[in-house]
Structure 1
Amino acid sequence: MEKLDQNTAPLFEALKKNVEDGVIPFHVPGHKKGKGAGELVEYLGEKVFQIDLNGMEDLDNICNPISVIKQAEKLLAQLYGADDSFFLVNGTTQGVQAMILYACGPGDEIIIPRNAHKSAIGAMILSGAIPVYVQPEINYDLGIAMGMSVDSVKEAIKNHPRAKAVFVINPTYYGAVSNLKEICRIAHQNNMLVLADEAHGAHLPFSDELPMSAMEAGADMSAVSLHKTGGSMTQSSALFIRESDKVSSNRVKSVLNLTQTTSASYVLMVSIDMARKQLALRGRELVSKALELARYAREKINEIEGLYAFGKELVGSPGVYDFDETKLSIYVRQLGMSGYEMESVLRKEYNIQIELSDFYNIMAIITFGDEKEDIDRLIEALKDIARKRGVKNKPNCNLVPCKTEMIVRPRDAFYSPKRSVRLEEAVGEISGEMIMAYPPGIPVICPGERITHEVVEYVQALKKEETQLQGTEDPFINYIKVLDI
């Protein structure tokens, strides 16, 4: 393939020209380049509204790109080692669902880790696919799910030889990475596609010291959140594909257009174009900076009594073939605190917002947008909290992600008649809804799974910690809908 000029930004340049030409808009959006936006334009500035445009000849159209959007997508694909890419303006959720809709029809099986994001469960409902769940490895000391072992994937393939695809998370929210290259080899030997949820891996191709990206490992498709660690704006992502006799770019486009908006945000799309340009020109330098900051923070935090910032030392333990060091996860249980409490204290008393908390840990994502001064503020805040709290040597509360059993297919459960019961009275019932803490958006229970005492206990513990829960019609999760059978 001809090497493209990564110093260009086709969509950005087309938008700039549109603004400079002073085109008079008799089209949506109705704010007409900010003139009707009132107070918001005073705060955000005119430029963002001037490029908030809609599909037209000089700006291309996301549903059937043939000019500047297509050129920008080709540049992105080449940068990530893919044969083609697609801009996404509905986050990696859209990419995950498109991959599964592409690979699976009603009744088709897909091998998937049980700690997959809720978007994958939504895709099962949309496609009618049947999940073959692989239990991820659990680190009971830290209380978190890691990656899938190669042996567990082999076993699933052996027991379900007609499965259409293997779905892999690369990396997990906490930074754990499965042996994706070996999983790709085994899956392809068995005529299965490999689909990668790479929401947290946009930065992986830009350092030899980070785990291998999905495209490099040989995956057929990967959905990547450029907005999380690649520098674009929230909700902007990309879907990458490797063309083959089983993967067609045109067919992927058709699948995407089932859920794709016809009014895609040019503000989001141009942020992908410019993030790609920055990564192409300075990606290695920028990701190196992020890694340096993450390592510095981890070293300093591990000097604080009562805290443990885990990292590469986990490599080789179950479910951790490699580790993404930019995920700064910190075990806080020895201070007598839950991660939820630590998150609250950091925000309310130190004006610091971290990415994620759970019963045992907090997690801060370190990117090239961070500065050493901010890292030092986090370190000093943690030192101060540790000094005030002291080491309690509090044992783990033995609450780890629950193992569940699928009784009814997700799609069938979603469309089945249901009744509402109190959560504590739901043990033994089949769930008709999802319940998850967000972040990370991994369901505790999925539609079609048996509700156990452990599930109820886990959800009640999450509620006690005032965790952000979602998934049920009842916003307070006092009630859950179960199958009326």
Structure 2
Amino acid sequence: MKTPLYTALVHHAEGNHQSFHVPGHHNGDVFFDEARTLFESILKIDVTELTGLDDLHEPSGVIKEAQDLTSELYGTKESFFLVNGSTVGNLAMILSVCGPGDVLLVQRNCHKSVFHAVELSGAQPVFLTPEVDDALDVPTHVLQKTVQDAILKHPSAKGLMLTYPNYYGHAVNLQPVIAEAHKHDIPVLVDEAHGAHFILGRPFPQPALEAGADAVVQSAHKTLPAMTMGSYLHLNSGRINRDRLKHYVTVLQSSSPSYPIMASLDLARAYAEEIIKSHRITKIEKGINEIKEHFFKIKGLEIVEPADPGVRQDPLKLCVRSLHGHSGYELKSIFEANGVHPELADEKQVLFILPLEGKSRLTPELIRKIEKGIDHWPAAKQSRSRIELPIEKITTLPFEKSVLSSLKKEAVPLSRAAGRISAEQVIPYPPGIPLIMAGERITEESISQLSRLIDLNVHIQGGVHLEDKQITVYIEEE
């Protein structure tokens, strides 16, 4: 299997070259001795744009060849390597289609980077309220009818921004929604951060690219064996200006991109390609099911699947819930106390991301320890209401940014925040989806959920006064 960038880096490392260039560790020659053993092998390929190693921002050699192989695998017009994560891809996609005042249709449960992109572009967001799964009580997908109505109200929209799958691995048939947007020549942008492995085919859901999305960003580091921050950005149609997209990819990415991260993207693509060509997917599916069987054996747990028959569950995502009344956060602590680290927890359940391959398994002894923890860990008494999203399927912010920028701010107790306009983002992390967005009117439901999360000591980004149970809002009247 070809790995042009990785192979070039290995040949360079084996050449015993003298380093009189950045980075400052000089091929690992200058380094903190206590960490040398752990780092030294990767430092040998942590180089810069040397002769023969190409340039990410104007690729013409091994990086271009590696990106072209990625494009060939995913069937795109062009694919780009991202070393600053899918965040950069979301920013670049939105900036490439939107300018100040342009309307962008946005799925409300998108990642925070999408809303940062909206802010940077100056676009006017129109939020599309997703459906909520009855079993897991998490937002999933946007209905075709919602998209139809949004386009009817905003026919001049410059783009439709979707998340697929959601963080919990819930996927739906995107083709009707994408076709609806394309009827009006509206490009569809998809944050497929958790779906880079969908290219492997069944049992995994259909990739957004195959469904017709115009541009897609994927976090190769989430489910393929790439290093953290390694992502792909795919261009799939002429509805998006390629030069404008490339411009923003260059502007937003580091001018000193990490060669180890880029090499891992080259290897992750080769890994996926090798699975397909060797017809190994059946064996992989069997291994995933074996891991799940270990979780099935844990007494006191139940596996939670989406209730909507139209939603497909990514086999790599596994949600478990306590049968003894523990919150997801308490259950996560029980697992972590036994050396098992999940991806995230919410009020009701714990989410695990399973490996495509590897040796991770729950031994009988470990299962017994987890069962003992579930039996002996007292479940806190707490109210757990359902997630509340806007009743309206299509919503907008009450004021434009130019108006908000002229208003003063104040911190108020959460008990008096409902009805006020938030002046800050409040983002439980993970999953990084804003609970309250800056510029939106705060509801009683969001305050109730936020109060519960604070009481559960959930990690929240934003909200500088939340530890005092206060939130910053705009002063609308003097």
Do they superpose with TM above 0.5?
yes
- The question of whether the paired residues in 1 share the 8 Å contact of 2:126 and 2:396 is answered with no
Per-residue CA distance 1:52-97 (angstroms, 9 max, x = gap): 1112332111122121111110101111111211111111111111
- Measure how far apart 1:268 and its partner are: 0.6
User: Is 1:172 the counterpart of 2:145 in the alignment?
Assistant: no
CA 1:419–1:150: 2 relative to 1, 3 Å: same
Aligned to 1:156: 150
- Partners of 1:415 and 1:258 lie apart in 2 by 29
- Measure the CA separation in 2 of the matches of 1:233 and 1:85: 18
2:419 pairs, out of 428, 431, 438, with 428
Question: Does structure 2 retain, via aligned residues, the 8 Å contact 1:431–1:481?
Answer: yes
TM-score by length of 1: 0.89
Contact 1:110 1:130 in 2 (8 A): yes
Cα distance change, pair 467–401 in 1 and its aligned pair in 2 (3 A): farther
> 1:174 deviation in Å?
0.9
Secondary structure at the aligned position of 1:44 is classed as: helix
Deviations 1:407-445 (A, max 9, x none): 234686578643333444322221111111111000000
What stretches of structure 2 of length at least 5 have no aligned partner? none
The structure-2 alpha-carbon separation of the partners of 1:146 and 1:77, relative to structure 1 and needing over 3 Å to count, comes to same
Aligned pairs, how many?
470
Which secondary structure does the structure 1 equivalent of 2:92 belong to?
A: helix
**Alpha-carbon distance between aligned partners in 2 of 1:134 and 1:255, rounded to the nearest angstrom:** 26
Change (3 A) 1:382 1:243: same
Q: Measure how far apart 1:139 and its partner are.
A: 2.5
Q: Relative to 1, partners in 2 of residues 1:415 and 1:31: Cα closer, same or farther, differing over 3 Å?
A: farther
1:397 aligns with 2:387: no
- Where in structure 2 are the equivalents of 1:84-483 lying within 5 Å? 84-244=78-238, 246-283=239-276, 288-298=282-292, 301-302=295-296, 307-311=301-305, 314-316=307-309, 320-332=310-322, 334-348=323-337, 350-371=338-359, 373-374=361-362, 380=368, 382-388=370-376, 397-403=384-390, 406-409=397-400, 413=404, 417-474=408-465, 476=467, 478-483=469-474
Deviations 1:344-372 (A, max 9, x none): 11112x11110010011110001224435
Pairwise CA distance, 1:228: 0.4
Are the structure 2 counterparts of residues 474 and 49 from structure 1 closer, same or farther at C-alpha, using a change threshold of 3 Å? farther
- In structure 2, distance between residues paired with 1:119 and 1:415: 24
Q: Is the 8 A contact 2:294 2:362 kept in 1?
A: no
Q: Which of the numbers 33, 40, 45 marks the counterpart of 1:46?
A: 40
Q: Is the 8 A contact 1:207 1:288 kept in 2?
A: no
The 2-side partners of 1:473 and 1:135 are apart by 27
Query: 1:376 and 1:205 mapped to 2: Cα distance?
Result: 34
Q: Deviations over 1:27-65 (max 9, x none)?
A: 211111112221354232422111111123321111221
2:352 and 2:126 map into 1 onto residues whose CA distance is 32
SS at match of 1:216: coil
Choose the corresponding residue for 1:73, options 67, 72, 78. 67
CA separation in 2, counterparts of 1:362 and 1:124? 31
Q: TM-score, structure 2 length as denominator?
A: 0.91
CA distance in structure 1 between the partners assigned to 2:101 and 2:242 by the alignment: 24
RMSD: 2.6
Residue 131 of structure 1 aligns to a residue whose secondary structure is strand
Cα offsets for 1:387-422 (capped at 9, x unmatched): 5579x9x99711415438622346865786433334
Offset, 1:114? 0.8
- The answer to whether the 8 Å contact 1:11/1:270 transfers is yes
Q: Distance in 1 between matches of 2:365 and 2:89?
A: 36
Secondary structure class of the residue paired with 1:55: coil
Identity of paired residues, percent?
34
Letter in 1 for 2:220: L
Could you tell me which runs of 5 or more consecutive residues in structure 1 were left unpaired when the two chains were aligned.
1-6
Q: Secondary structure at the match of 1:168?
A: strand
Secondary structure, aligned partner of 1:354: coil
Structure 1 residue matching 2:361: 3-state secondary structure: helix
Task: Describe the shift of the 1:71–1:120 C-alpha distance in structure 2 as closer, same or farther (beyond 3 A).
Answer: same
Name the amino acid aligned to 1:323: Q
